[in-house]
Amino acid sequence: MAAAAGGWLRSCGKLKRNLPAYLGPWRASPCVFRSSKSELMPNLASDGVVCAPLQTFTEEETMMKNMVTKFAQERVAPLVQKMDENSKMEDSVIQGLFEQGLMSIELGEEYGGTGASFFSVILVVEELAKVDPAVSLLCELQNTLTNKLFTTYGTEEQKRTYLPRVAKDTIGSFCLSEAGSGSDAFSLKTRAEKKGDYYIINGSKMWISLAEHAGVFFVMANTDPSLGYRGITCFIVDRNTEGLHIGKKEDKLGIRASSTCPVTFENVKVPATNILGEVGKGYKHAIGLLNTGRIGIAAQMLGLAQGCFDHTIPYTKERVQFGKSIFDFQGMQHQIAQVATQLEAARLLTYNAARLAETGRPFIKEASMAKYYAAEVATLTTSKCIEWMGGVGFTKNYPIEKYYRDCKIGTIYEGTSNIQLSTIAKSLAQEY
């Protein structure tokens, strides 16, 4: 019996040796998931780097967060229902964002900006979204797209011309999507033909956020269609430029106070000096900034979900059925605990991606993970909150149904959820 057993084990050993190396049981893979790699920290004494929990903020970040919370409650909250019903952002809200320095958070003081950190942007977006995701979007796009496009790719003259304006009272709008180019953004048809020192732009854009109030547009147009996406160039176009037409805004499901409009260009004459970055590099500029913007959208979805949760849980503790609050039923507690855990996971993903971006480390995969997961959590949270609220959650007397409507866009704009998953998978393929 023992001999037979020994023979069986020896034969198993032969089989095991003939298996591909990667199928070896309990064998450590030679490939290590990049996020799991530990990195040698810089010299703490000389660099002042401190290892701290992701939810540890600097004094400046804490002050910014508290200020925005107060602003959102006092200046935004009273107008949320009205803005949603009218599909219009109140001028007082826009003015307030500029006055508080929330439209130029990272810009240097020499341009009229606040001079704060990128992480401060994420905190501001999250706090505003707890009250109104539409207002949060305005702030997010201004900081992660408009301002960063100018600071990253603008010439000194362009910076001197536009940065003081976008810090004071001018909203920017990013024109990339078209009727035939959504996720396949770089198949766009808008053309820019060179005529001496000018370019003539012709084409149309769709789903353009903030177009109703924008004073300056970043227009992606192809200067040489024979080069495909390598001909795409970014142009700075002022609102009052002849031939630029802003169409009727869309009647949307959610984030209704934030305008979304078609924009057309009919023989729009733009000087060559208004090219942002290099000719033919517009696609690179767009990809780079959208990666950062995805962290902002993750923060928006996180704040939205948290705001909805914060409105709902007190109700579950006050609502009495069968002689006790509905929060006290174990079935409810388990659901609430699950959502709270997923909210915390989304927050950590978002904060981690923001800290990586802020310190100049690779963050593309982490940004996509944060945006994808935060949008999924927002969808689950808002749906559950309506169920927990019961009938009143289904009415417009409470803000829960608005959060539910607002969250859907999170799986669509700045890269759909499927695009995020593809980006994550591409990164994983390179890591293993």
The catalytic residues are 414
Q: Look at strands 198-209 and 260-271 and give their pairing.
A: antiparallel
Contact 242, 269 (CB under 8 A): yes
Provide CB contacts within 8 A for 194, sequence distance 6+: 223, 272
Rounded (5°) CA angle 139-145-148 = 110
Integer Cα distance of 417 and 411 in angstroms: 5
Structure tokens at 238: 């002022």
In total, the chain counts a number of residues equal to: 432
At 187, the amino acid letter reads S
Contact 263, 220 (CB under 8 A): no
Residues 15/19/22/25 CA torsion (nearest 10 deg):
-10
Contact 402, 256 (CB under 8 A): no
Integer Cα distance of 315 and 388 in angstroms: 9
Residues 343/348/350/354 CA torsion (nearest 10 deg):
160
